[in-house]
Structure 1
């Protein structure tokens, strides 16, 4: 392959990875609904909501950090519905997180894949804008597996139709973006692991052969 063609291919791959990471960031941070599962705050529809309910329940970070995660999505939702800005002080109440610490921890234990995957989705979205990596794909696959396990295999069993698991079509977009965002990094890693040619030793001179 000509150097110019190879350079153009790398540039195209890098652009695809960047834009895929950017779209994934928008989906996660602005809380585009991907699924619907029971969580400590009631029903969660995004990885950020699942993550926030866990952070509040276990008091891992101060409430201000959780509010910072929730606020972009709250702003987007409020502007779409009633063209107003949400109150910062009322943000936890808006997401029903004020009583999350009193909710049963069994909800998290039953859905460890979705919980862990949501953590990776949020972290991967934040890091991926600067340096796309495999965290987004790993998190998204974990969430998908957790949804498949509960929706198809029926684990854990759910008898309440109001709390039934639901998967939105947007999760396919998130999965495609997560996969596309790591394309360039995988190719880069493959090139870096290629064996390095070792220079052959110089042939001995004719004088040394005579010896």
Structure 2
């Protein structure tokens, strides 16, 4: 029989990998206005900001966007996108020429997206809480905007939405932390010992 440490390691590694797949294949988690229209994933929010700030070369943005574009093409049964036309596919090519000031209205969503993307990559090698913090920051910001939008407007905006897949991302991010999984495994055992 496997020990609790082995079970925790197995569960956290599977959850980390699932979280990585959710992020890198750009499964829609939310819908929020961003620089190139509507962003539905943390990768889209992150890459739109990276292109606008021009801190990273274009190939870094393309590397982040390409797996999601391939997954989207497979799901919709279209031809695979060409790497050279990737920025045009996401409407980012015109974004680089614009001189728009950084979008600070949704700073929590931007920070949460950065943490989610980086946490997905770091979570493959070692279990960290970065992905959980990023996902929770996105949820907090979206809930705050939805609630405040309803109070400020008689007709709340429908441009901001949360998808059910965001709950899956939170569960995967939480279960990717090995220490927390071990505590979950130990708590029922401790109750059984006390009862007997």
Q: Is the TM-score greater than 0.5?
A: yes
1:158–1:70 CA distance, 2 compared to 1 (3 A): farther
Q: Which residue of 1 aligns with 2:35?
A: 40
Uncovered stretches (5+) of structure 2, i.e. residues with no partner:
184-196
Aligned length: 182
Q: What displacement does 1:105 show?
A: 3.3
1:86–1:134 CA distance, 2 compared to 1 (3 A): same
Q: How does 1:15-34 map to 2 (within 5 A)?
A: 15-34=10-29
Select the residue among 157, 162, 179 that pairs with 1:184. Answer: 179
Q: Which residue of 2 aligns with 1:136?
A: 131
Using CA pairs under 8 Å that are at least 6 residues apart, name the structure with larger relative contact order, 1 or 2.
Answer: 2
| TM-score relative to the length of structure 2 | 0.85
Q: How does 1:10-159 map to 2 (within 5 A)?
A: 10-101=5-96, 102=98, 104-105=100-101, 108-154=103-149
Uncovered stretches (5+) of structure 1, i.e. residues with no partner:
189-211
Root-mean-square deviation over aligned CA pairs: 2.5
Contact 2:149–2:157 (CA under 8 A) maintained in structure 1: no
Contact 2:8–2:181 (CA under 8 A) maintained in structure 1: no
Q: What displacement does 1:183 show?
A: 3.5
Q: Give the greater-gyration-radius structure (CA).
A: 1
Q: What displacement does 1:144 show?
A: 0.5
CA distance in 2, matches of 1:37, 1:160: 17
